[in-house]
């Protein structure tokens, strides 16, 4: 047992070192760009997972919150000349405030209405991105600059890699702590049975609001990081389709599993880059993937009883069978 | 008998759904240190009454006073904060959470922490969480289901899920637990075990109101029994007196006897 | 000008009403978010469009389109909805979203992403009453919506199938115990919902005189869903009136408030409304059980 644990730890350390050194052996900027994207989208997938997977609130408007964070950060950075970190965190806090508003609107509504209101909310935000030209530059999109800390600009892809990595690790740790705390248990209780949750003393409406605030904060943070990484954004990045792709990352990875969200984001970001035809039909593939997943593995890849667990169980079963067969053969 | 302390006082409660008065002008007082039973034929308004005195429904008329505070119109959370917990007729455990987590959800208001402590994983948070886990295991041991602590609650059998529900209610350190048909679907030996469990809970200083159909169970367990019929309260009295109450026999026990006569 | 806006609003509303009736069939009875409703019937509309290009009589083409929608939704129900019917709220919803994407991309693969002109072929006249222009097509659409509503209400009330549909809407397990072939009836509801959707979709296309792959979702599912909620989930009368309200708010906001922010205001009005009256204008009484 103990030896096995040591092996696992060694593998973990090797993996961590491998990730840390990625910019040294992957020098191709295109590949680095994809990896950065994966990490930033992972943060969004984590926040979707918090809202949908842990709290059970089906949210179709995540992209709008990424947009709110992105536009707020980019506009304040371009216009007011504030330090980057202020604009960046400001974007996340702005998204969290709007998330709070959405949460307050939705705290008493039923499942269906929440879904509908999130769609409406994201449409409203998108219309503002398109139509509020003096601020957002409308459909032409908005350019901005790379992040800078104390006068040092993160111009290279390598530095952006470390920036995204640190951001992802911080967000992951905080979200993991939240899900394992009293608050996370309250979210899960609301997901499983909101009436029983309220009888356990959980203030269900306020916890729903809290969930939207926390989730929107991280979505906004990732959105702001993305806009400073790509140095450009436009309203087309924040459509309903985008929201559903974000949702699908969390679902594919496994609702309720945090590592799963990263896996899901990685698959859905990398796959379209591998083949052009996949890119053209990515929504079709996503649709098929959604239906197939829901039918055969609603818990995604890494969730409880998801594909990974099914695979492990399958291998174990066949392994023991083969071992037994081997014994028989030996006898 | 020293002076008994009022725990729950219900005065002139009426709950109306459309034209139907599910609960009609019910008043009684419950004192600390007693097990109160509520019986009544199907559709007598027992569960509606529970919903009203636990804040799920607000009464159309009347007042609920719990621990000396007027709780009328307050929501469920406020009732819980005052020290009320309940179980449900159709079991409601958190299916996809572990049994341990189910119990710890019950401790929601016992654990005092905030989002900052959680995100920073401060020493205080760690200590509190460890203490909560310890307490939860104690409750599970008390209920005899500690071996399932890491199991998903939804995978447990019916009887164990009942215990998880009771454990969740206990975990909030309540003054009063409302049990809605706790022995439904249990066999005789399980019912006897349950009776022992409820008495044990009483000894921990928790008061209990219980709804049941099982007459024998109620007669043995309860200190006083309230009888509801078509939403009205017939009587609140000791089991012996209830047994001999004319009205009650006519409304409820009598009919059962008739049925038994038919059967024989 | 006001009356012209009013007439326009009511005609847009009657188009939405047709869409909402089909949507409300499934949504009201099964309480399942049918995200794929619009995209499924859009396939039927495109089939009709193609048949009409081949010089087939519009009525036959519409019937064929309805048949396609009907069969398609039966298949979808069988393979994507039935297996997950009891799997909570999120799973069936995501499955339906998946179907919506499959259908939309299917249309894109076959017919492409272009916008095509669409016309039912007969001449569109209009009546002029004191300067207010009313299109005859608009009157037809309204008439068809009302006739369909009456027919469906009667069918629900007086036929055995209708009664079993109502039973299922109350409780699926009880309906099954009463010997109602639950799976068949639910499949039928989906099929009929899609067939009605095709009628609505085609009249929508002929009203706006175009057809493209997006008609299913943003103009179909979303509008029908909003109209159904305005009116009250499961109420056919409500879905017509809800659709009228939706039409009114769209036309009057863009005429008198702001056309750029039309959607913003329509959504805001809608969100405020459902926060105040979550059960719509004609609510169905359902008590929450503990």
What is the per-residue pLDDT for C290? 47
CB contact under 8 A, A105 and C80: no
- pLDDT mean across residues, chain C: 86
> What are the tokens at A185?
């248990």
- Per-residue pLDDT band for B1 (boundaries 50, 70, 90) equals very low
pLDDT of residue A93: 96
- What would the pLDDT profile of C203-249 be if each residue is shown by its tens digit? 889 888 889 888 888 888 888 888 888 888 777 788 888 899 999 99
> Chain A contacts of B125, Cβ < 8 Å?
181
Q: Average pLDDT for residues B240-244, to the nearest whole number?
A: 84
User: Which tens digit of pLDDT belongs to each residue from B109-146?
Assistant: 888 888 888 888 889 889 999 999 999 999 999 998 99
How do residues A55-109 score in pLDDT, each as one tens digit?
999 999 999 999 999 999 999 999 888 889 999 999 999 999 999 999 998 888 8
Interface of A with C in 273-302 (CB under 8 A): 281, 283-284, 286-291, 293-295, 298
Residue C69 has pLDDT above 80, yes or no: yes
Task: Check residue C74 and give its pLDDT.
Answer: 94
Asked if the model's pLDDT at residue B259 lies above 50, the reply is no
Identify residues of A whose CB sits under 8 angstroms from chain B CBs: 174, 177-178, 181-183, 185-186, 188-189, 191-193, 195-204, 210, 214, 256, 304
For residues B217-222, give the mean pLDDT. 87
Other Cβ atoms within 10 Å of B29 Cβ, number: 14
Query: Where residue B98 falls among pLDDT bands split at 50, 70, 90?
Result: very high
Q: What is the pLDDT of residue A328?
A: 59
A160-169, B219-228, C39-48: segment of lowest average pLDDT: B219-228
Nearby residues of C135 by Cβ (< 8 Å), 6 or more positions away = C11, C124, C125, C126
Which residues on A lie below 8 Å from C274 (Cβ)?
109, 113, 116-117
State chain C's maximal CA–CA distance in angstroms. 60
Highest mean pLDDT among A24-33, A118-127, C164-173: A118-127
DSSP-assigned states of every residue in A57-75:
---S-HHHHHHHHHHHHHH
A230-239 pLDDT, tens per residue?
A: 999 999 999 9
Per CATH, the number for A30-283 is 1.10.3470
State mean pLDDT over A316-321: 82
Distance CA B252, CA B247 (A): 8
Q: So what's the pLDDT on residue B262?
A: 47
- Find the DSSP H helices in chain A: 2-20, 22-25, 29-48, 62-80, 84-106, 111-131, 133-136, 157-179, 182-192, 194-199, 204-230, 240-253, 258-274, 276-280, 282-296, 307-330
For an interface test with B, give the residue of A56, A173, A175, A182 to mutate (most B CBs within 10 A).
A182
pLDDT at residue B263, rounded to an integer:
42
| Arithmetic mean of pLDDT, A280-302 | 87
DSSP result, C48-113? HHHHHHTT--HHHHHHHHHHHHHHHHHHHIIIIIGGGTTSTTHHHHHHHHHHHHHHHHHHHHHH-S
Beta-carbon contacts of residue B140 (< 8 Å; ≥ 6 apart): B99, B100, B103, B146, B148, B149, B167
Dihedrals φ, ψ of B145, to 5°?
-125, 25
Q: Which chain C residues touch A51 with a CB distance below 8 Å?
A: none
C110-149 confidence digits (pLDDT tens): 998 888 988 877 666 777 777 777 888 888 888 888 888 8
Cβ–Cβ of A182/B111 closer than 8 Å? yes
Q: Calculate how close chain C gets to A39, using CA atoms only, in Å.
A: 24
- Helix H or strand E segment including C144: helix C136-158
Check CB contact of A110 with chain C, cutoff 8 Å: yes
Q: Is the pLDDT of residue A131 over 80?
A: yes
Residues of chain C positioned with their CB less than 8 A from the CB of B51: 290
Cβ-count burial of C219 within 10 angstroms (0-12 exposed, 13-18 middle, 19+ buried)? buried
Which residue, A245, A222, A191, A171, is CA-closest to A52?
A: A191
Give all chains having 3 or more CB-to-CB distances under 8 Å with chain A: B, C
Q: How far is C-alpha A51 from the chain's CA centre?
A: 10
pLDDT at B214: 80
With contacts defined as CB-CB under 8 Å, which chain A residues touch B75? 198
CB pair distance less than 8 Å for A127 and C264: yes
Chain B interface includes C287 (CB < 8 A): yes
Neighbour-count burial of A214, counting CB atoms closer than 10 A to its CB (0-12 exposed, 13-18 middle, 19+ buried): buried
B38: left (phi over 0), alpha (psi -120 to 50) or beta: beta
pLDDT of residue A3: 65
Mean pLDDT of chain A: 89
Q: Is C129 on the interface with B (CB under 8 A)?
A: no
pTM: 0.90
Decide which of 1.10.3470, 3.60.20, 1.20.1250, 2.60.40 is the CATH code for C2-276.
Answer: 1.10.3470
Q: Which of A115, A290, A291, A303 to mutate to test the interface with C (most CBs of C within 10 A)?
A: A291
In this prediction, residues A150-168 reach a mean pLDDT of 87
pLDDT in tens, A212-255: 999 999 999 999 999 999 999 999 999 998 999 999 999 999 99
Amino acid B257: pLDDT: 47
Residues of B in contact with A214 (CB under 8 A): 115
Burial class (CB in 10 A: 0-12, 13-18, 19+), B213: middle
Which residue in chain A has the smallest CA separation from C99? Answer: A287
Q: Is the predicted pLDDT of residue B258 greater than 50, yes or no?
A: no
Q: Give the closest of A284, A286, A291 to C80, CB-based.
A: A291
Query: How many angstroms separate the CA of residue B149 from the nearest CA in chain C?
Result: 25
What pLDDT is recorded for position C287? Answer: 44
Nearest-CA distance from B47 to chain C in Å? 8
Please give the average per-residue pLDDT across C16-43, as a whole number: 86
Is the confidence at residue B85, as pLDDT, over 60?
yes
Neighbours of chain C (3+ CB pairs under 8 A): A, B
From A293, A115, B150, A174, select the one nearest C33 (Cα to Cα): A115
Interface contacts A/B by beta carbons within 8 Å: 87
Q: Identify the CA nearest to C23 among candidates C214, C224, C192.
A: C224
Q: Decide if pLDDT at A331 tops 60.
A: no
Q: Could you tell me if C88 lies within 8 Å of chain B, comparing CB atoms?
A: no
- Residue A329: its pLDDT value, please? 54
For chain A, say whether C246 makes contact (Cβ under 8 Å): no
Tens of pLDDT, residues C75-99: 999 999 999 988 888 899 999 999 9
pLDDT at C55 exceeding the cut of 60: yes
The mean predicted confidence, pLDDT, of chain B is 86
Percent of chain B with pLDDT over 90: 25
Element (H, E) at B179: strand B176-180
Mean pLDDT of the region A140-153: 84
Average pLDDT over residues A266-283: 82
Residue in B closest to A211 by C-alpha: B115
Closest alpha carbon within chain C to A125: C264
What's the average model confidence in pLDDT over C104-113?
89
Q: Among A48-52, A284-288, C259-263, which stretch is predicted with the lowest mean pLDDT?
A: C259-263
From A240's Cα to the closest Cα of chain C, the distance in A is: 10
Nearest to B97 among A188, A199, A204 (CB): A188
Q: How far apart are CA C95 and CA C99, in angstroms?
A: 6
C70 pLDDT exceeds 70?
yes
CB pairs B-C closer than 8 Å: 7
What's the confidence (pLDDT) of residue C255?
Answer: 86
**pLDDT at position C113, please?**
85
Domains of chain B: 1-83+174-264 (3.40.50.300), 94-172 (no CATH)
Q: What was the pLDDT predicted at A95?
A: 96
> What's the full length of chain B, in residues?
264
């Amino acid at each position: 047992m103990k030896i096995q644990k040591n092996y696992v730890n060694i593998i973990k350390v090797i993996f961590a070192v491998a990730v840390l050194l990625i910019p040294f052996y992957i020098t191709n900027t295109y590949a680095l760009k994809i990896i950065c994207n994966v990490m930033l989208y992972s943060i969004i997938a984590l926040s979707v997972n918090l809202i949908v997977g842990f709290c059970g609130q089906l949210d179709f408007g995540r992209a709008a919150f990424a947009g709110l964070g992105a536009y707020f950060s980019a506009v304040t950075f371009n216009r007011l000349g504030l330090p980057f970190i202020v604009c960046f965190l400001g974007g996340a806090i702005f998204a969290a405030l709007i998330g709070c508003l959405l949460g307050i609107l939705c705290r008493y509504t039923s499942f269906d209405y929440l879904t509908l209101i999130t769609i409406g909310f994201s449409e409203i935000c998108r219309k503002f991105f398109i139509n509020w030209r003096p601020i957002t530059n409308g459909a032409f999109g908005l350019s901005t600059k790379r992040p800078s800390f104390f006068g040092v600009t993160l111009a290279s892809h390598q530095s952006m890699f470390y920036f995204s990595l640190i951001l992802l690790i911080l967000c992951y740790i905080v979200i993991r702590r939240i899900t394992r705390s009293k608050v996370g248990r309250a979210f899960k209780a609301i997901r499983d049975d909101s009436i029983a949750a309220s009888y356990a003393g959980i203030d269900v409406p306020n916890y729903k609001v809290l969930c939207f605030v926390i989730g929107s904060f991280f979505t906004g943070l990732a959105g702001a990081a993305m806009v400073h990484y790509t140095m450009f954004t436009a309203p087309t990045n924040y459509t309903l389709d985008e929201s559903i792709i974000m949702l699908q990352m969390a679902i594919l990875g496994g609702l309720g599993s945090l590592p799963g969200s990263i896996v899901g984001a990685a698959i859905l970001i990398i796959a379209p880059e591998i083949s052009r035809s996949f890119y053209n039909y990515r929504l079709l593939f996503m649709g098929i993937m959604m239906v197939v997943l829901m039918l055969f593995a609603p818990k995604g890849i890494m969730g409880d009883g998801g594909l990974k667990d099914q695979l492990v169980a399958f291998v174990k079963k066949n392994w023991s069978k083969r071992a037994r067969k081997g014994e028989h053969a030996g006898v | 008998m020293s002076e008994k302390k009022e725990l729950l006082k219900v005065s002139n409660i009426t709950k109306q759904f459309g034209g139907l008065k599910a609960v009609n002008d019910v008043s009684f007082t419950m004192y600390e240190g007693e097990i109160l039973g509520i019986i009544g034929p199907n559709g007598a308004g027992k569960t509606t009454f529970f919903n009203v005195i636990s804040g799920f429904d607000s009464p159309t008329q009347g007042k609920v006073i719990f621990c000396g505070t007027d709780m009328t119109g307050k929501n469920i959370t406020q009732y819980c904060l005052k020290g009320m917990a309940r179980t449900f007729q159709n079991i409601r455990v958190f299916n996809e959470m572990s049994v341990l987590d189910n119990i710890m959800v019950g401790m929601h208001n016992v654990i005092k922490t905030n989002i900052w402590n959680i995100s920073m994983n401060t020493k205080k948070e760690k200590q509190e969480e460890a203490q909560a886990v310890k307490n939860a295991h104690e409750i599970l041991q008390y209920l005899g289901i500690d071996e399932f602590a890491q199991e998903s609650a939804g995978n447990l059998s019916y009887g164990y899920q009942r215990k998880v529900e009771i454990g969740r209610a206990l975990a909030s350190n309540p003054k009063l637990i409302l049990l809605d048909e706790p022995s439904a679907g249990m066999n005789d030996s399980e019912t006897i075990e349950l009776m022992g469990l409820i008495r044990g809970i009483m000894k921990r200083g928790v008061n209990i109101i219980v709804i049941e159909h099982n007459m024998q169970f109620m007669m043995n367990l309860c200190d006083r029994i309230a009888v509801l019929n078509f939403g009205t309260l017939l009587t609140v009295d000791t089991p012996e007196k209830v047994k001999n109450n004319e009205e009650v026999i006519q409304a409820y026990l009598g009919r059962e006897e008739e049925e038994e006569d038919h059967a024989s | 000008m006001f009356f012209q806006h009013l007439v326009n609003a009511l005609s847009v509303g009657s188009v939405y009403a047709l869409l909402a009736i089909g949507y409300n069939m499934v949504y009201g009875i099964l309480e399942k978010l049918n995200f794929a409703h619009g995209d499924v019937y859009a396939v039927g509309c495109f089939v009709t469009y193609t048949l009409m290009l081949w010089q087939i009589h519009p009525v036959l083409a519409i019937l064929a389109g309805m048949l396609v929608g009907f069969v398609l939704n039966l298949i979808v129900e069988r393979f994507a909805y039935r297996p997950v019917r009891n799997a909570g709220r999120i799973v069936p919803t995501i499955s339906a979203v998946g179907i919506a994407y499959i259908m939309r991309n299917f249309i894109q693969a076959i017919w492409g992403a272009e916008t095509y002109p669409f016309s039912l072929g007969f001449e569109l006249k209009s009546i002029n009453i004191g300067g207010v222009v009313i299109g005859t097509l608009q009157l037809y659409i309204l008439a068809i919506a009302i006739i369909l509503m009456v027919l469906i209400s009667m069918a629900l009330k007086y036929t055995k199938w209708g009664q079993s549909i109502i039973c299922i809407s109350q409780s699926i397990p009880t309906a099954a115990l009463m010997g109602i072939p639950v799976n068949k009836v639910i499949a039928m509801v989906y099929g009929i919902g899609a067939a009605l959707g095709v009628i609505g979709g085609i009249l929508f296309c002929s009203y706006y005189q175009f057809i493209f792959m997006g008609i299913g979702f943003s103009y179909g599912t979303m509008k029908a869903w909003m109209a159904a909620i305005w009116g009250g989930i499961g109420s056919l009368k409500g879905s017509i009136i809800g659709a009228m309200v939706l039409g009114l708010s769209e036309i009057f906001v863009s005429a008198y408030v702001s056309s750029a922010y039309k959607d913003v205001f329509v959504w805001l009005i809608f969100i405020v409304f459902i926060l105040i009256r979550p059960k719509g204008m004609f609510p169905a009484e359902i008590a929450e059980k503990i």
